[in-house]
Structure 1
């Protein structure tokens, strides 16, 4: 499952182009994401990814650690983002992904801004 999540990070998040077909490849239409107290459904998540592509020119995600249990993978990862204004922000992310039928159906995550302007604090849930 770690390889699957790395693919998602690479093709959906690190990819500078918004591509809804790639989102549909990896995420169920029933997808729910809980991030820092905010709940996003599938359509809101798509808008979130679109917003990220508007604000971020480059994103790099490094998995620090992970744990797997049946259809769940937990990751501790760092997300480094270069914003359109040239500034860089880094977030520490703890995420629990639930996978069913080859797609992510839920993510429960906490993000912590560890470097950069405080206005990027909610980059993980912005729509």
Structure 2
């Protein structure tokens, strides 16, 4: 499952192009994300990804640790984002992904801004 999550990070998040077909490939239409006291359903999540593509010119994700149990994978990863205004934001992310029928159905995530403007604190949940 680590390879699956790495694919998601590469094709959906690190990819600078918004591509809803790729989102549909990896995320269930029943997808729910709990992130930093926010709840995003599939449609809000798609808007979130679109918003990221509008703000970020380049994103790199490094998986520090991961653990798998059945259809669940937990990741501790670092996200470095180069914003289109030239600034950089770095986040530490703890995420628990639930996979069902080959797609992600749920993510329970905490993000912590390590570096960058406080206005980017909620980059992980912005819609």
Measured against the shorter chain, the TM-score band is over 0.9
TM-score by length of 2: 1.00
Match of 1:78 in 2: 78
SS at match of 2:74: strand
Displacement of 1:109: 0.2
1:11-68 deviation digits (Å, cap 9, x = unpaired): 0000000000000000000000000010000000000000000000000000000000
SS at match of 1:18: coil
**How many residues of Structure 1 are paired with residues of Structure 2 in the alignment?**
127
Unaligned runs of 5+ in 1: none
Unaligned runs of 5+ in 2: none
Superposed, 1:1-127 pairs within 5 Å as 1-127=1-127
The 2-side partners of 1:37 and 1:74 are apart by: 18
Where do 4+ consecutive residues of structure 1 move more than 2 Å? none
The 2-side partners of 1:47 and 1:116 are apart by: 23
Q: CA RMSD in A?
A: 0.2
The 2-side partners of 1:40 and 1:71 are apart by: 21
